[in-house]
Amino acid sequence: MIIFVSNIPVHILETPEAALYSQTINLEKDIVKFSEITGNPLIRNASHRSILNFMEFLQVNSSSTLAGVTFLVKNLRRFRKFLKKELQFVKAAGGVVENHTGKVLMMKRLGFWDLPKGKAEKGEKSEITAIREVEEECGVTVFADRRLVSTWHTYFQKGKLVIKRTRWYSMKLISDAKMAPQVEEGIEELAWMGPEELAEAVKQSYRSIIYVLDRYRERGVTEKSDPAG
C-alpha cells in the first residue's frame, strides 16, 4: 500500500521490499522527531496511531529532504481498517485512456498534467465511476479494458485529514469526436501523448500519476512479451 501525502510516497508494508533504504529506524529503541526524518528510511515498530500522526505532520509540513518513507506493519488489512475508521474515506476512480494509435490521454489542471478521475457516487461501482468521470471531464467515449492499480492520497478538508482511494483502469478509446476539457472542473487542456511527450509531461505532474503511468507501461510490456497473449 502506498499513500501519497503532500506528493511524498508513504509505503505501508508487511515485509520490506528489496530496495535500498537510507536508514532503518526502530521506534522501540530510537527516539526520532518527525522533522528529523529524511532520505528514504525504513521504520519498524510504529503503531498505527504513530503512522497517522506522521501523515498529518507531513500533510502540513511538506519536506524537500524526504524522498519517501516505508513503515512496516504486522497486518496491512488491519491498518487499512484503522485508517477508514479514523479518517473520512472517499472512493474515486479514473482511467488511463489509450487511443487507436497507442497514445495516452492527459489533461492539464491547475498547471499540472493529470489523468481523468473523480469521486464515486453513492452505490456506484468503481468501473462505472471511472468511465463516467473520464467521459465527463474529457468529452470522449471509452470502455474499460482492465483494472490497473489503486492509489491512495490524503488532503485536508474543513480542517480534517481525508484519505481518498482511487481505482485506476486501463481504457480504450471509442471516439474523441467531441473531445473538450470540462472547464468548470478547472481542466485547462487535453492532449494525446506518445512516450516522448509523456516523458516531458510527467516533469509537471504528481508522483501518484507517475506511479499509475509506470504500472500502465509495465503491464503493456508484460503483455507484449507474453507469447500466450
Where a domain ends, among 52, 70, 86?
86
Gap between the Cα atoms of 11 and 182, Å rounded: 33
pLDDT at 121 over 50: yes
Q: 17-52, pLDDT tens digit by residue? A: 877 899 899 988 888 888 888 899 999 999 999 999
Instruction: Kindly indicate the confidence band of residue 220, based on its pLDDT and cuts at 50, 70 and 90.
Output: low
Structural domain of 81: 2-86
Where a domain ends, among 57, 86, 115?
86
Q: How many helices (H) and strands (E) does the chain have?
A: 5, 12
Q: Do 162 and 181 have their domain in common?
A: yes
- Three-state SS at 222: helix
Q: 56-106, pLDDT tens digit by residue? A: 999 998 778 899 999 999 999 999 999 999 999 999 999 999 999 999 999
Q: Do 165 and 149 have their domain in common?
A: yes
β-strand partners of 35: none
- pTM, two decimal places: 0.87
Q: Do 77 and 180 have their domain in common?
A: no
Q: Do 123 and 20 have their domain in common?
A: no
The average pLDDT across 184-191 equals 94
Q: Which helix H or strand E contains 33, and what residues bound it?
A: none
- Three-state SS at 91: strand
Q: Do 47 and 113 have their domain in common?
A: no
Gap between the Cα atoms of 31 and 89, Å rounded: 31
Structural domains of the chain, count = 2
**Beta strand pairing call for 69-72 and 42-44:** parallel
Q: Report pLDDT for 17.
A: 80
* Phi, psi of 57, rounded to the nearest 5 degrees: -60, -45
Q: Report pLDDT for 222.
A: 44
Is the separation of the CB atoms in 103 and 136 below 8 Å? no
Q: Do 94 and 60 have their domain in common?
A: no
Nearest to 69 by CA among 27, 13, 14, 11: 11
Q: Do 93 and 79 have their domain in common?
A: no
Q: Report pLDDT for 225.
A: 41
What is the identity of the amino acid at 4? F
